[in-house]
Each structure stands twice: as C-alpha cells, then as structure tokens.
Amino acid sequence: MAHHQRIRVLYDEVVIARRIDEIAGQIAQSDVKDLLVVAVLKGSFMFAADLIRAMHKAGMSPQVEFVHLSSYRAATVSSGQVEILRDVQSEVSGRDVLLVDDILESGRTLAFAKDLLAARGARRVLSAVLLEKPGKRAVSIKADYVGFTCPDYFVVGYGMDVAHSFRQLPYVGVIETDDQPGFDGV
Ligand code: IMP
Ligand code: MG
C-alpha cells in the first residue's frame, strides 16, 4: 500500500459541470411532466445535487427523492445482490420518474431500481448516470442520459467511494500508487 495515494483525474469539475448543463438542457427539452427525481444513494449524491441545480437553471421544478441501494458492501466486486437500505417515501404512481445514479456497470442496481418504481405504477422511469462502463453489463439495460463513457477502471470521487473514502473529491479519478505517475496529490 502506497503511503501517498494520488488520484489521476479523469473528469475534472469544469468538464463535469459542462456535461451536466447539457444533460439538464436535454431533460428540460424532453416531454417529461411533473418530474420526480430519485437519487440512488450513496454514490449519486453529488451528481444528483448538481444535476438538480442545473435542471433549475434550465427552467425545471423537479421534486426530489432518495432511495438507498447497496450491491457492493465495501468491496470492489459486485455481489450481484441489490438490497434496499432506505426506500423512497413519495408516491410514484402515475409519475414521470428520473432515476439518478453514479455509474452503470453490471446494470443490476439500475435494473432493480427501474423495476421497483415501475412495479409501483410510475408512468415512466427514465435514468441518468454520470458514468457508464461499457462491456461490463450483466443485465441488458441502457440509461437515457449518460455523462461519460468511462474506461474500465475503478473510479473514485464526485460521490463515488472505495471502502467509504474519496466521496468528497470534486472530480472523478483513479487511484494511483507511488510508482505510477500521479497528477493530483491528495
Ligand atoms: P452495477 O449494479 O454493477 O451497475 O453497479 C453500480 C454501482 O456499483 C454504482 O452505483 C456504484 O455504487 C458501484 N460502482 C461500480 N463501479 C464503480 C467504480 O468504479 N467506483 C465506485 N463505485 C462503483
Ligand atoms: Mg451506487
């Protein structure tokens, strides 16, 4: 284990903010009505907060809800099981819902959340993910809005963690060890 972990930045604050404004603009121009945003905790909290503010700037007035799902359990390999740790509290029946998640990898988390809200009678369940890793899908699912297609690294920051650390970083990056070139000291 390296004494000084460095993070190589993949998507910086400026790039993320610009992309989020584009996505919010697209959502604002779509035909969604009376939108309920459901952020999937914990990893999406930063993306969701920025996306919701960008939606406001784009003239929208979404309501906001949270569901806390877990599939990782402090490991970097998915267990394949999705658990509800905290459920949504609003009625979703008849609503247009936008699920917001940090990263689409196997697709199990998003598929589970989509099925859950659809089973409760949501009129439409759309999804926005900050990142997608192609070639990792175990479940056939596509997000309606994707921030960036990400190389197949384990990424941290901007809400995403490894063993509960690094969520606070305002950018998305990859952890590097001492013998590899680092770009941004932490
Ligand atoms: P999926 O269910 O396999 O699509 O995984 C989605 C969830 O796994 C995400 O919401 C993240 O919480 C977590 N995850 C997947 N890849 C990464 C990564 O590279 N860094 C941090 N978390 C990840
Ligand atoms: Mg997550």
What's the chain's average pLDDT? Answer: 91
Residue 1 predicted with pLDDT over 60: no
Q: What is the pLDDT confidence band of residue 93, given thresholds at 50, 70 and 90?
A: very high
Residue 159 belongs to a domain: no
> What pLDDT digit, counting tens, does each position of 34-91 carry?
999 999 999 999 999 999 999 999 999 999 999 999 875 545 555 668 999 999 999 9
CA of 49 to the centre of ligand 2 (A): 15
- Residue 104 near ligand 1, beta carbon < 6 Å: yes
Contact residues for 172 (Cβ-Cβ < 8 A; gap 6+)? 9, 10, 11, 16, 130, 131, 150, 155, 156, 157, 158, 160
Which ligand 1 atom is at minimum distance from the Cα of 139?
4
Residue 72, pLDDT score: 58
Q: Is residue 91 part of a domain?
A: yes
Q: Would you say residue 142 lies in a domain?
A: yes
- Would residue 178 count as lying in a domain? no
In a domain, 173, yes or no: no
User: Quick check: 179 pLDDT over 90?
Assistant: no
Q: Which ligand is nearest to the CA of 72?
A: 1
Q: What is the pTM of this model?
A: 0.91
- Distance of CA 146 from the midpoint of ligand 2 (Å): 15
174 lines ligand 1 (CB under 6 A): no
Number of compact structural domains in the chain: 1
* 133: in domain: yes
pLDDT value at 123 more than 90: yes
DSSP string computed for 70-119: ES-TTSSS--S--EEEE---S--TT-EEEEEEEEESSSHHHHHHHHHHHH
| Domain encompassing residue 77 | 13-151
Instruction: Identify whether 175 is part of a domain.
Output: no
Looking up residue 41, the CATH number of its domain turns out to be 3.40.50.2020
Per the DSSP assignment, residues forming a β-bridge with 85 are: none
- Whether 118 is covered by a domain: the verdict is yes
